[in-house]
Structure 1
Amino acid sequence: MRTHFDVFGLPRSHAVDVPALEKQYRELSLQLHPDRVGPGDAKARLAAVEGTTALNEAFKTLKDPVRRAFYLLKLHGVDLDREDAGAQKDMPLEFLEEVMELREALDEAIAAKDLPRAQVMAKDVAGRKAAALQEAVASLGTLEAAGDSPDGVRKASHALGRVRYFTRFLEQVDAFEEEVLA
């Protein structure tokens, strides 16, 4: 199976030189662009469109550190974008309780139209999200170096599950902020 890393000739790793990736993306975009194919060659034009689509998707995924981490986990057999993803059901109970408490506190702040309180909560959650992403990247690095292990996959899944929950929380705060400031 050809991965997004293969599209750019990169090793499977969370460590990506984004400026170099952007430069390579621009170069490959020019090479693969469908307009470079003659008008009479439908097969070559279709191949160019498919190549450009794959390039765009690979670039979108690899340039973003969070998407890149989720993609690496997917390459290890866990797709957290699927609704039935086992890791989301498998999150530690204490974390799920913590998330419920955070959500309730945010709902209270929103109901009270207390934007400063929501912003303080968001700052704390943003720090937790960054720490969870660091933990996931470390676990993914171990998986890439040592191969799949159930414990390593579980650790990365749980860390990225936390990233997902924290991202949703921050999106809710952003929406509240826009509503209040609009």
Structure 2
Amino acid sequence: MSSFSGTYFDLFGLPANFVVQDQELANAYRTVQAHTHPDRFAADSEAQKRIALQWATHANDAYRTLKDPLQRAIYLLQLRGIETQAEHNTVMAHAFLMLQLEWREAIEAAQLEKNLPALQALLDKLHHERTLRLTKLVSLFEAQMDQAAAEVVRELMFIERVAQEAQAQIENLEYA
């Protein structure tokens, strides 16, 4: 085993595309893990064991990144030289900002009213919004419209944060 070089896509022998077949990724991951799992190197030197552990960790990170569509989109944009910089770049369309405000107000109102069905309905809506944007990302990546893809990725990041807030409130109400 040598040092890491190439991309996560290279590691698994996959093309650097946004669309990844889950089964193909899982099979490639298992193949890499079979060759790099630290247990295979139990009788080897400490240095070789450390390298195997680093490879296994790298493969795990790569798999987690490529398995998650949002993380895969962020990674693919980074490979193309585009940083999403969501923490620093919060410039978004006014309509999306208003929508985000509405979602947060809906969470707050449902939480105050202890309205579990309203929270679940909002969570369903957020999942739908996520699906719409992931579908849009497929087209944007295929057309190599990376800046537009980065904007959609930033929206997805906000949607995921709001969905996490809604899920947390649902759990609070269910276990209260």
**Distance change >3 Å, CA 9–CA 107, structure 1 → 2:** same
Is residue 86–residue 154 contact of structure 2 (8 Å, CA) maintained in 1?
A: no
Map 1:1-182 onto structure 2 (within 5 A).
2-37=6-41, 39=43, 41-80=45-84, 83-84=87-88, 86=89, 89-143=90-144, 152-182=145-175
Return the offset for 1:133: 1.4
CA-to-partner distance for each residue in 1:68-116, whole Å, 9 max, x for gaps? 22221222233446633x3xx2212221122112211221121111121
Partner of 1:149: none
Other structure's SS at 1:10 match: coil
Report sequence identity in percent. Answer: 29
Other structure's SS at 2:18 match: coil
**Distance change >3 Å, CA 120–CA 35, structure 1 → 2:** closer
Structure 2: runs of 5 or more not aligned: none
Q: Distance in 2 between matches of 1:82 and 1:56?
A: 24
Return the offset for 1:52: 1.1
**Distance change >3 Å, CA 19–CA 81, structure 1 → 2:** farther
Q: Distance in 2 between matches of 1:160 and 1:106?
A: 22
> After the TM superposition, which parts of structure 1 deviate over 3 Å for at least 4 consecutive aligned residues?
78-82
Q: Distance in 2 between matches of 1:176 and 1:38?
A: 46
Is residue 69–residue 137 contact of structure 1 (8 Å, CA) maintained in 2?
A: no
Q: Distance in 2 between matches of 1:123 and 1:34?
A: 41
Instruction: Give TM-score scaled by structure 1 length.
Output: 0.83
Structure 1: runs of 5 or more not aligned: 144-151
C-alpha RMSD over aligned residues? 2.0
**Distance change >3 Å, CA 121–CA 13, structure 1 → 2:** same
